[in-house]
Structure 1
């Protein structure tokens, strides 16, 4: 049998750069999710069909 003691693991706190990268990743994933949900809602509301029926894109004029 080996008489070597197990090596204790050391937990290091994340650096500022690692925290900043993690925050950027979180924002990126959140924005990708919002983009896909926006497209899904537009499709469910029939926006592509309405644009196709008009023959082109349209602008809205509020009076």
Structure 2
């Protein structure tokens, strides 16, 4: 089946929106943790944006 040149960009856009929402949710989840809890996991607040991005956009 041939790809639909009109719908492919729309599907991609909605996929990206979903991944961005997942990244935001992960950031907010981590940000609610105390500094002590983050430190126990070997994390600092500076690590949170990168971790959230990975959770939303990097594939396994």
**TM-score tier (shorter):** 0.5 to 0.7
Give TM-score scaled by structure 1 length.
Answer: 0.50
**Structure 1 stretches of at least 4 aligned residues deviating more than 2 Å after TM superposition:** none
Aligned length: 40
Which structure carries more helix by proportion?
2
Give TM-score scaled by structure 2 length.
Answer: 0.52
Where relative contact order (Cα < 8 A, 6+ residues apart) is larger, the structure is 2
Aligned alpha-carbon RMSD (Å): 2.5
**Residues 30, 20 of structure 1: CA spacing in aligned structure 2 closer, same or farther, 3 A cutoff?**
same
